[in-house]
């Protein structure tokens, strides 16, 4: 199976040569090293990472110099590792001594994936607790309530425009709606063409 490498430096003034040399020493061909310089805050915007993920196939191994290069935050690193494992990829981190092709390395990667799942659960619990607290404080969640009189007036305006020959889509746009929104409100408020 193939080895593909990934290097990343935080600004254009840095050199990824140390990382590349370490990856080549680990058996990665120079043509199979994907790189990013000054990546945006989100790993999904890293063009080198995207090309790597588009190229790598199940059963292949991704080699990095350090595992923290897989994301800008702990949660991003955890998610990236979990995604790679989910795609059937092996992972080697040269500096960290992680090699998922070994028993100990697989244990380390499994722990990272478990941490990713744990963090997702914690985030869900925090969101649910925040929403519950907001409800108890009287904060209304979701879309603001609709003014039924305003809705009826808009339905009538759209119906009048339709009577003058406009299509439902064009008439609905006059009041800032889509055709589907017009039909939904027309049905809900009992007005008929």
Q: Which residues are catalytic?
A: 10
Give per-residue burial for 25-43: e unless 16+ CB within 10 Å, then b. ebebeeebbbbbbebeeeb
Query: Alpha-carbon distance 151 to 177, whole Å?
Result: 11
Local structure of residue 31 (DSSP, 8 states): G
- Tell me if residue 176 falls in helix, strand or coil: coil
Enclosing H/E stretch for 61: strand 61-64
Q: Is 183 exposed, middle or buried, given 0-12, 13-18 or 19+ CB atoms closer than 10 A?
A: middle
**Greatest C-alpha distance within the chain:** 76
Q: What angle do CA 92, 97, 33 make, to 5 degrees?
A: 35
């Amino acid at each position: 199976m193939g080895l593909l490498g990934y290097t990343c430096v935080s600004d254009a003034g840095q050199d990824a040569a140390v990382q590349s040399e370490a990856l080549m020493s680990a058996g990665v061909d120079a043509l199979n090293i994907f790189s990013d310089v000054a990546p945006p805050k989100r790993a999904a915007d890293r063009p080198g990472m995207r090309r790597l993920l588009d190229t790598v196939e199940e059963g292949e191994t991704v080699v990095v110099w350090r595992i923290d290069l897989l994301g800008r935050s702990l949660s991003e690193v955890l998610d990236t590792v979990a995604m790679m494992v989910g795609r059937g990829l092996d992972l080697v981190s040269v500096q960290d001594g992680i090699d998922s092709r070994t028993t100990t390395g697989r244990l380390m990667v499994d722990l990272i994936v478990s941490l990713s799942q744990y963090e997702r659960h914690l985030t869900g619990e925090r969101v649910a607790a925040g929403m519950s607290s907001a409800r108890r404080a009287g904060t209304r969640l979701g879309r603001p309530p609709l003014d039924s009189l305003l809705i009826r007036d808009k339905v009538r305006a759209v119906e009048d425009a339709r009577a003058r020959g406009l299509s439902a889509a064009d008439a609905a746009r006059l009041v800032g709606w889509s055709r589907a929104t017009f039909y939904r409100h027309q049905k809900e408020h009992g007005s008929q063409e």
